Structure 1
Amino acid sequence: MNATAPRPGSTRRFDVAIRGAGVVGQTLALLLARDRLRVALVGTTRAESGQSDVRAYALNAASRELLRSVRAWPEAGPQDERTPPITPVSAMQVWGDDGGELRFSAEDQGADALTWIVDVPALEQRLNDAVGFQGSIERVSEPPQAALTVVCEGRRSQTRDELGLEFDVRPYPHKALAARLRCEQPHGGIARQWFANGEVMALLPLGGETGNSVALVWSVPAQQADAWLQADPETFTQAVQARSAQALGHMHMESPAQAWPLELARAQRWIARTAQGGVALAGDAAHTMHPLAGQGLNVGLADVGELARVLQQREYWRELGDPKLLRRYERARAAEVGAMGWVTDGLFGLFSHDDTRVQALRNWGLSGFDRSGPLKRWIARQAMGQAGA
Structure 2
Amino acid sequence: MASPPDICIRGAGIVGRSLALLLARERLNVALVDSPAWPSNTPDVRAYSINRAGMQLLRSLRCWPDSAAVTPVQRMQIWGDHGGQLSFGASEQGVDQLNWMVDVSVLQERLAQAVQFQPQIQVLQAPVAAPLTVVCEGRASQTRAELGVGFDIQHYEQHAIATRLLCEHPHQGVARQWFGFGPAAQTHGAKAEVLALLPMGGEGGREVALVWSVHPLRAQALMAMPAPVFAGALSLACAAALGSMQLSADRAVWPLQLARAQTWIGAMPGASKQSFALAGDAAHSIHPLAGQGLNVGLADVAELVQVICAKEFWRPLHDQKLLRRYERARQADVQAMGWVTDSLQRLFAQPGPVWQNLRNWGLRGFDHSGPLKHWVTQRAMGAGGPGTP
AA paired with 2:97? A
Q: Deviations over 1:319-338 (max 9, x none)?
A: 11110000000000000000
1:290 matched to 2:309? The reply is no
- 2:83 corresponding residue in structure 1: 99
Of residues 6, 12, 16, the one that matches 1:15 is: 6
Aligned mates of 1:75, 1:46 — CA distance in 2: 24
1:135 matched to 2:104? The reply is no
Of residues 373, 376, 380, the one that matches 1:383 is: 380
Deviation at 1:112, TM superposition (A): 1.1
Deviation at 1:52, TM superposition (A): 1.7
Deviation at 1:105, TM superposition (A): 0.3
Q: Tell me the TM-score normalised to structure 1 length.
A: 0.94
Aligned mates of 2:255, 2:39 — CA distance in 1: 24
Deviation at 1:43, TM superposition (A): 1.8
1:53 matched to 2:34? The reply is no
Counterpart contact for 2:19–2:301, Cα < 8 Å: yes
Counterpart contact for 2:159–2:219, Cα < 8 Å: yes
1:158 matched to 2:142? The reply is yes
1:202 matched to 2:186? The reply is no
Distance 1:373 1:114, change over 3 A: same
Which blocks of at least 5 consecutive residues in structure 1 are unaligned? 2-10, 77-83
Counterpart contact for 1:46–1:52, Cα < 8 Å: no
Deviation at 1:234, TM superposition (A): 1.0
Distance 1:49 1:264, change over 3 A: same
Deviation at 1:50, TM superposition (A): 3.4
Aligned mates of 1:13, 1:161 — CA distance in 2: 26
Deviation at 1:12, TM superposition (A): 4.7
Aligned mates of 1:268, 1:130 — CA distance in 2: 33
- 1:111 corresponding residue in structure 2: 95
- 2:188 corresponding residue in structure 1: none
- 2:28 corresponding residue in structure 1: 37
Q: Secondary structure at the match of 1:146?
A: coil
Deviation at 1:156, TM superposition (A): 0.6
Q: Secondary structure at the match of 2:218?
A: helix
1:183 matched to 2:167? The reply is yes
- 2:222 corresponding residue in structure 1: 228
Aligned mates of 1:243, 1:162 — CA distance in 2: 43
Deviation at 1:226, TM superposition (A): 1.4
- Aligned CA RMSD, in angstroms, stands at 1.4
- 2:62 corresponding residue in structure 1: 71
Of residues 362, 366, 370, the one that matches 2:367 is: 370
Deviation at 1:45, TM superposition (A): 4.4
Matched length: 373
AA paired with 1:133? F
Which blocks of at least 5 consecutive residues in structure 2 are unaligned? 182-191
Deviation at 1:368, TM superposition (A): 1.0
- 2:211 corresponding residue in structure 1: 217
Q: Deviations over 1:24-63 (max 9, x none)?
A: 0000000100000000000244799333210100000000
Aligned mates of 1:34, 1:177 — CA distance in 2: 37
1:260 matched to 2:224? The reply is no
Aligned mates of 2:119, 2:16 — CA distance in 1: 17
Aligned mates of 2:124, 2:42 — CA distance in 1: 19
Counterpart contact for 2:36–2:137, Cα < 8 Å: no
Counterpart contact for 1:17–1:42, Cα < 8 Å: yes
Q: Secondary structure at the match of 1:14?
A: coil
Aligned mates of 2:40, 2:358 — CA distance in 1: 47
- 2:156 corresponding residue in structure 1: 172
- 1:301 corresponding residue in structure 2: 298
Deviation at 1:283, TM superposition (A): 0.3
Paired-residue identity, %: 56
Aligned mates of 2:198, 2:172 — CA distance in 1: 11
Distance 1:209 1:93, change over 3 A: same
Q: Secondary structure at the match of 1:248?
A: coil
- 1:8 corresponding residue in structure 2: none
- 2:186 corresponding residue in structure 1: none
- 2:184 corresponding residue in structure 1: none
Aligned mates of 2:318, 2:216 — CA distance in 1: 41
Aligned mates of 1:293, 1:91 — CA distance in 2: 14
Counterpart contact for 2:10–2:35, Cα < 8 Å: no
Of residues 113, 123, 130, the one that matches 2:107 is: 123
Counterpart contact for 2:160–2:212, Cα < 8 Å: yes
Aligned mates of 2:37, 2:169 — CA distance in 1: 32
1:278 matched to 2:272? The reply is no
Deviation at 1:70, TM superposition (A): 1.1
